[in-house]
Structures are given as C-alpha cells and as structure tokens.
C-alpha cells in the first residue's frame, strides 16, 4: 500500500526490497544516490530498527522514516537519532508526501 502511495505521488523513483537484509543491500549498492529510506519495523531476516541503525552508521546523511502499525510499542524501542520520523500506519498520501519533502530537505547534501 505504501508503494502504491509513493507511485501515486509520482515524483520519486522508488526502490524496493523484499526484507531488511535486501533493503540493506539496496542501500549499499545505491548509496549516495538515495535521498530517503522508508521502512517498517517488521521485516524478515533483519528488522527495520536494526537495518536503520546499520544504514545510519554507513550513510549518516540519509534520512530514514519508519511507518509502522505498532507505533506505540516501536516508539519506545527507537534509539535517538536514527529516524527522521516514526509515523503510525495507515498514513494518508498527503501526509506521506509532506514527510518525504521534509526528510529530503533535512539532508544538507540534497537541498
């Protein structure tokens, strides 16, 4: 559903991954070309929080947004400084677009 929303916005090239391990590999392959990572908490192999910690260590300027259906529980487990935003699902397309714009703008190399 999030993928459909991103495609509906129509302004962004969207890269996808089947699980956290694959997501980490996509970021490592595309690295500096990635403006933003959007993830969920629950992924097979590597969960979204662990994947995001690794991405932040390797690519500290890439903003990461977590969208989760377990917002209250996840918010308590999220380390400071990893995520640009943690937002509950479902999310409206307009909200998602605003978060994307703000996250990309937060990267000093993408302004």
Inside any domain, residue 68: yes
Note whether residue 24 is domain-resident. Answer: yes
Closest residue by Cα to residue 61 from 95, 25, 103, 20? 103
**Mean pLDDT of all residues in 79-93:** 90
Q: In whole angstroms, how far apart are CA 73 and each of 20, 41, 53, 70?
A: 19, 10, 18, 6
Task: Tell whether the model's pLDDT for residue 100 goes beyond 70.
Answer: yes
Q: What is the mean pLDDT of residues 52-57?
A: 96
Asked whether residue 75 is domain-assigned, the answer is yes
Distance of alpha carbon 31 from alpha carbon 24, whole angstroms: 10
- Which SS3 state, helix, strand or coil, does residue 32 take? helix
Helix (H) or strand (E) holding 75: helix 71-77
93: confidence class by pLDDT, cuts 50, 70, 90: confident
* pLDDT number for residue 41: 86
Number of Cβ within 10 Å of residue 58's Cβ equals: 12
Domain of 54: which CATH number? 3.40.50.2300
- Please give the residue that has the higher pLDDT: either 70 or 63: 63
**Domain-embedded: residue 47:** yes
Q: Which domain holds residue 78?
A: 2-8+18-106
Q: How many domains is the chain partitioned into structurally? A: 1
**CA–CA–CA angle 48, 38, 89 (5° rounding):** 85
CB atoms within 10 A of CB 22: 16
Say what the pTM is: 0.89
In a domain, 13, yes or no: no
More confident residue, 11 or 63: 63
């Amino acid at each position: 559903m999030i993928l459909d929303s991103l495609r509906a916005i129509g302004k962004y090239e969207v890269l996808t991954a089947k699980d956290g391990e694959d997501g980490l590999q996509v970021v490592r392959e595309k690295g500096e070309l990635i403006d933003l990572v959007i993830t969920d908490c629950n992924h097979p192999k590597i969960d979204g929080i662990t994947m995001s910690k690794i991405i932040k260590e390797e690519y500290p300027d890439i903003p990461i947004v977590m969208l989760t259906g377990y917002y209250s529980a996840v918010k308590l487990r999220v380390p400071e400084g990893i995520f640009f935003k943690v937002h509950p699902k479902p999310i409206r397309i307009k909200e998602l677009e605003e978060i994307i714009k703000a996250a990309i703008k937060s990267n000093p190399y993408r302004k």
